[in-house]
Amino acid sequence: MRAQLKPLSEQVIVITGATSGIGLATAREAARRGAKLVLVARDERALSALGDELRQRQCEALAIAADVGDEAAVQRVSADAIARFGHYDTWVNNAGVSIYGRLDDATMAENRRLFDTNFWGVVHGALAARRHLRGHGGAIITVGSVASDLSLPLQGMYSASKHAVKGFIDALRVESDNEGAPVSITLIKPASVSTMLTEHARNYLPQKPALPPPVYAPKVVADAILHAAAHPVRDVYVGEPSVAGSTFMSIAPGMTDKLLQTFVINMQQRREAEDRPDNGNLFKPAEHGVLRESPEDSGFTLRHSPYTEVMTRWNGTMDFLLRGFGR
């Protein structure tokens, strides 16, 4: 059964990792387009500040402090959203953390904690959302990465978690389609995005971590997420390097490995010594009450991805035509 998705102005949208980066940009843009929101993050002060900001824009928003790695907490989010609004239409799995360093640098406790957020957080959210959306339809949207298709050296465990997310989401989609559930399941695969990921990551490098250029603004990904909330789509590559990297890995994996080894290791290290007083947000929020989409020194970011814009518009056109033929 094809999912029939509502216009954004008629939707209730759950967003995890809502207080920074892509989640924050998505919340602000969804509010601007008239959606009701359920905002999920660990930092209660930041959540409260975001809720106040959006309510001043006449957006009806419910803020819930929860750790997506805790299955019971995610189930409470789903229940609280239904209690407040009667239902929700879209669930966005966005919360994520990273570790910079070689694979034998981090402790197993750190690696497991990363998987608790990046992988198990997606599993908890997607399964809770599907149980609810089976009844009336909707969308489950998960923020993966170009690292869902290739592995980034110095972010090996992050890449492993994004590979696991892709495998889980692909299997969930096939099972949902097989049972006829009216649920659209989308994986978003961004290239480098100017979020707080590098500042919040656990870092074992002597230098500050960096993102391989080009780097896109969080709103580019937010627009892709909100497109998928209103138009059923399987995958969305955000940024030209995402589709290029995934394509090259599939047709020339050995050559891609050489390119990653030659260029990407250096591209992920800035020419500045690491000097943070803390070391990331694996186990607790890195900052309290601070809402930031991008670092203060984010530099130049691309605000458009021609490839992504063309593909999402094409998908929207095809969806319109299919609806016209009664599908």
Strand, helix or coil for residue 212: coil
Rounded-to-integer distance, Cα 54 and Cα 291, Å:
12
Q: Report the DSSP pairing between strands 207-209 and 269-273.
A: antiparallel
Q: Report the DSSP pairing between strands 183-190 and 138-143.
A: parallel
DSSP conformation class of 10: G
Active site residue 158: yes
- The three state secondary structure string of 250-294 is HHCHHHHHHHHHHHHHHHCEEEEECCCCCCCCCCCCCCCCCCECC
Rounded-to-integer distance, Cα 251 and Cα 254, Å:
9
Count the Cβ atoms, other than its own, within 10 Å of residue 115.
Answer: 17
Nearest alpha-carbon partner for 237 in 306, 159, 298, 292? 306
- CB of 185 closer than 8 Å to CB of 168: no
Tokens at 129, concatenated:
């959302």
88, 100, 158, 216: the catalytic one is 158
Residue with tokens 């990046």: 118
- CB of 62 closer than 8 Å to CB of 41: no
Measure the N-to-C terminal CA separation of the chain; round to a whole number of Å.
9
Q: Which residues are identified as catalytic? A: 158
